[in-house]
Amino acid sequence: MIRTGLVLDRDFVVGPLDRRVFGVFVEHLGRCVYTGIYEPGHPSADEDGFRGDVLALTRELGASIVRYPGGNFLSGYDWEDGVGPREQRPTRLDLAWHSTETNAFGTNEFIAWCRAAGVEPMLAVNLGTRGADAARRLVEYCNHPGGTTLSELRRQHGQPKPHGVRAWCLGNEMDAPWQIGQKDAGEYGRLARDTARLMRRVSPDLQLTACGSSNRELPTFGRWEYEVLQECFDEVDLLSVHAYFENPHGDTWEFLGNIDRMDLHIKEVAAIADAVAARRHSHKRMKLAVDEWNIWYKARAGEHAYQPDWPRAPRLIEEVYNFEDALAAGGALCVLMNNADRVQVACLAQLVNAIGAIRTEPGGPAWRQTIFHPFALAARHARGVVLRTAIQSPARSGRMHPEMPYLVASATHDEASGRTAIFALNRHLAEPQELTVQLRGFGPLCELVEAQELFHTDMQAANTRDAPDTVAPRPQREARVAEGQLRVRLQPGSWNVFVLQHRGRPAP
C-alpha cells in the first residue's frame, strides 16, 4: 500500500477555471463530419441531417466550445465552397487527407449544429493557400448584421441574424512540413498580425489565437513561438499548443509519462511568451489554447491516414481507445486544470470517429470510447477556481520524464455552490494508494456527495459497438470524510473523482 497526501486550501488558488478547457475539435477529416455529426437519413437524424445520438452524446460529454473546420484541412479550404444552396456547391479534392470533399456541410451548418449541441463555435481561417482578405470576408459574412454584400449573402443563405462568432484561430500548424502553405516564423507572424488587424476592423471584439509550434519535437519548437510573437504579440490573445500522446515503448508506465511532458510543454510555451513580453516591457501575459490534444499512435500510418482514389468520408485515423488511454486522458485533464492561470481554451481532437471520443457506424449506433468518461466527469464537476495542489507522493523516474509521482491530482472549488471537486489518478499499476486529502479553510462541515472511479483490470480493454460499456465509471466506495479530511483507497491504475459539499465555512 502506497501512502500519499494532498493538501488543499480554499485561499490558495491557481486561477479561475475557464470552462472552454472542455472544448473539442471537428475537422473535415475521415468520418468526423460525414457519418459522424452529419448523416441525413440516419434513423436519429433531424431535419438538418444532424445525428441525434451524436448530439446527445456531445451534450453528455459536456463540450463547451468546438474548433472548426481544421486542422490540416483548413490550409487548403475555401470557405465560400461551403455556403449557399447545396446543389450549387463545388466538389473539391481535399489535399490534406487525400479525400473528396462534397462541401455538403459548411459554415452555416456548423453554426446550426453548435446551437443544437449548446456549444460555442470557434472558427479558423485559412492562412495556408489564402490570407488576410479571405479571413476578413469570412468575419463579415458571419458577424456583420446586414447591409453589405457579404452580410446580405448570409441572409440570402437563410441566416438573417449574424452568427456572432467571437473565437477565431489564425491558421493551423503553419510551421509543419506537412502543412499546405508552410511558412517560416517571421512570415507567419507578420501574416497573423495583419490578418488580426483586418479581422478586428470588421468585428472588434474577437478573441484570436495564433499558431504555436505544431509539435514539441520539431527543431523549430521554441524559436518559432518567440519569433512569431515578436511580430504579432499585441494583436493576438492566445497562442496555440498541440500535444498528442504516443506510446513508442509499449509500456503503460512510460506512456503515462506523457502527462508530465504535457505539463512541461505548457510551462515552456508560457515562459517563451513571457520572455517576449519582458523584451517588449509589456505587462500582458499571453494566454494559451491547447486546441489540439489527445492520444494518437495506433492509427497513424498507411490506410489509417491515406487511402487511394480520393474516397468520400473514408475511415481515417479511427483510433480504438483502451483503458490505459483513458488514464492518460484523465491525467491530461488534470494538467489542463492545474495550468488554469495560462490555459483558457483546450480542444480534445477530435469529437467523432477520427481519434474521437465518440464512435459511430453509418446508419447504426453511436457509443462512448474509453476517453469519453474522464472528460465527461471533469466537465460535469469542475467549476469555479482551480486550487493549488500540494502533493506528497513517492515518485519513479521514466524516459518520458525524469520524475513521475504516483499521484496525479487536480481540484476545483465553486463558491456559488459550495462544492469542491477532486480528481486523482493513481499511476502505480500494481499497488493501491491510501490517499489523505487535507481540506483547509473550507469550514468544519462537509459531506461527500459523489465518488466515481474509472478502473479496469485489463489495460487493453476497449469499448466496442457490441460491448460499449466495457470501460465505464462506477461508484467509488472506499472514500470517507471526517475531521476536515478526505481519506480514500485508490485502486492501482485508476482515475477517480470526489465531490464534496461544504455546509459551513468560517467568515472571511
Residues with active-site annotation: 173, 292
Q: Are strands 404-405 and 23-25 parallel, antiparallel or unpaired?
A: unpaired
How far is residue 222's CA from residue 107's CA, in Å, rounded to a whole number? 33
Nearest-5° Cα angle at 106, 151 to 167: 70
* Cα 424 from chain centre: 20
Question: Torsions phi, psi of 249, nearest 5?
Answer: -100, -5
The torsion angle over the Cα atoms of residues 380, 386, 387 and 393, rounded to 10 degrees, is 70
How far is residue 406's CA from residue 391's CA, in Å, rounded to a whole number? 10
How far is residue 476's CA from residue 490's CA, in Å, rounded to a whole number? 9
Distances (CA, A) of 273 to 194, 234, 445: 20, 12, 43
How far is residue 410's CA from residue 386's CA, in Å, rounded to a whole number? 8
Which 8-state DSSP code applies to residue 176? -
How far is residue 122's CA from residue 168's CA, in Å, rounded to a whole number? 5
* Cα 189 from chain centre: 24
Which 8-state DSSP code applies to residue 91? P
How far is residue 36's CA from residue 51's CA, in Å, rounded to a whole number? 8
How far is residue 353's CA from residue 365's CA, in Å, rounded to a whole number? 12
The torsion angle over the Cα atoms of residues 207, 211, 213 and 214, rounded to 10 degrees, is 100
DSSP-assigned states of every residue in 2-55:
EEEEEEEETT-EEEEPPGGGGEEE--SSTTSTBTTTB-TT-TTB-TT-BBHHHH
Which stretch of DSSP H or E encloses residue 59?
A: helix 52-61
Which 8-state DSSP code applies to residue 299? S
- Cα distance between the two ends of the chain: 39
Q: Which of 156, 238, 232 is nearest to 197 (CA)?
A: 232
How far is residue 460's CA from residue 456's CA, in Å, rounded to a whole number? 9
